[in-house]
Amino acid sequence: MRKLQDTIDRIEKVDSSWDKKTQKKLDNLTKPKGSLGILEELAKQVVRITENETPQLNNKVIFTMAGDHGVAKEGVSAFPQEVTTQMVYNFLAGGAGINVLAKHVGAKVVVADLGVACDLKEQANLIIKKVNYGTKNMSRTAAMTREEAIKSLENGIEIFEEKHCSDKSRSSCIDIAGMGDMGIANTTASSAISVVITGADITSMTGRGTGIDDSKLKLKKEIIKRAIDANKPFADDAIDVLAKVGGFEIGGLAGMILAACSRRVPVVVDGFISSAAALIAYKLEPKTKDYMISAHASVERGHKTVLDYLGLKPLLDFNLRLGEGTGAVLAMGIVDAAVKILTEMSTFNSAGVSKENVKA
């Protein structure tokens, strides 16, 4: 618990006083004031987070964390549980959607096993921080112990810390971090977490995940209700919620958020599962919200409610529901563009362009 608390204690409130100077610089670029809209707001947010007037986002990293869920045995997913393992190997081989899109924007993918239900082959590009071999079936008992929940959070912190400034030089430090996930049945856990924390009803927070039909969707809602009724998670205790209806990869991602915020690194939140992890991080430390950038509006039904609760506005609405970090990595390209506008665009004076007429 010490590592978790120490990390939380290092998270500082972002200082909005940076905005005035950044806005002045943006207004002096060769464009009408405010004409780049959200890009300008993103540039100001990155400056606030990093406390750097000329930030650079050279080192982009997506953390894709994997874990299995005992509740998959209830038939809540369209895919069998072994797909979690198979997709992890696909990530490592570079053949998944996240690999293609990360290469496109110049990001690195870090793959981590937080709770896959089997022993994965050790590889140089795989981080093994397994808490257990999948969670228990949350519809019958708590998904994990409180100690395991804390361990998943602290393992996520360790994963970020081990990759941040890994060769001890500032040039190697992570400039922006994104979240990704893999775990069959993890939309079931994410819906349960979201229902408990936001107070929304199960129907509005439960979607089709991997593409289940109507009968499985009905079953999924019943399983979520059973899990919440049986475990009675306490909404104001994020660790209790994670332990009773969460997942190891969700805890790992929440820990990664905390670690990134403690190092003043912007965090790009992917879809529904990543947003459930963001809920856990936010409940542990509300200041984390100001370090978060929502990548996209997922097709998953409850995602909008979670984002509204967090006060985040998604950058993209592409009907995505893949996970893995695919939405986050696409949004990283937009955030990078916003920063480059701030740092690379000419001013009126340097370009010899006349400013707008100002009435006397």
Q: What is the DSSP string of 139-177?
A: TTS-SS-HHHHHHHHHHHHHHHHHHTTTTS-GGGS-SEE
Q: Could you say which DSSP state residue 15 is in?
A: -
Whether 324 is catalytic: yes
Q: Catalytic: which of 147, 300, 324, 344?
A: 324
| Terminal Cα-to-Cα distance of the chain (whole angstroms) | 62
CA distance 343 to 46: 12
**318 SS3 class:** coil
Alpha-carbon torsion angle 134, 139, 141, 146, nearest 10: 60
Beta carbons of 233 and 240 less than 8 angstroms apart: yes
Question: From residue 54, how far is each of 19, 43, 50, 193, 344 by CA, in Å?
Answer: 13, 10, 9, 38, 9
Residue 356: what pLDDT? 76
Question: What is the topology classification, in CATH, of domain 57-332?
Answer: Rossmann fold (3.40.50)
8 Å CB contact between 152 and 138: no
CB atoms < 10 A from the CB of 308, how many? 12
Question: What confidence score (pLDDT) does residue 88 get?
Answer: 97
pLDDT in tens, 298-351: 999 999 999 999 999 999 999 999 999 999 999 999 999 999 999 999 988 887
- Tokens 């919620």 appear where? 241
Q: Kindly list the distances between the CA atom of residue 266 and the CA atoms of 45, 288, 321, in Å, as whole numbers in the listed order.
A: 9, 10, 23
Q: Residue 360's pLDDT is what?
A: 47
Question: In degrees to the nearest 10, what's the CA dihedral of 161, 9, 16, 160?
Answer: 10
The tens-digit pLDDT sequence of the chain (360 residues) is: 899 999 999 999 999 999 999 999 999 999 999 999 999 999 999 999 999 999 999 999 999 999 999 999 999 999 999 999 999 999 999 999 999 999 999 999 999 999 999 999 989 899 999 999 999 999 999 999 999 999 999 999 999 999 998 665 566 799 999 999 999 999 999 999 999 999 999 999 999 988 889 999 999 999 999 999 999 999 999 999 999 999 999 999 999 999 999 999 999 999 999 999 999 999 999 999 999 999 999 999 999 999 999 999 999 999 999 999 999 999 999 999 999 999 999 988 887 888 877 554
> Which residue has 């120490």 as its token pair?
6
Q: What is the pLDDT, as a whole number, of residue 353?
A: 81
Other Cβ atoms within 10 Å of 143 Cβ, number: 31
The number of helices, as runs of H, and strands, as runs of E, in the chain is 15, 6
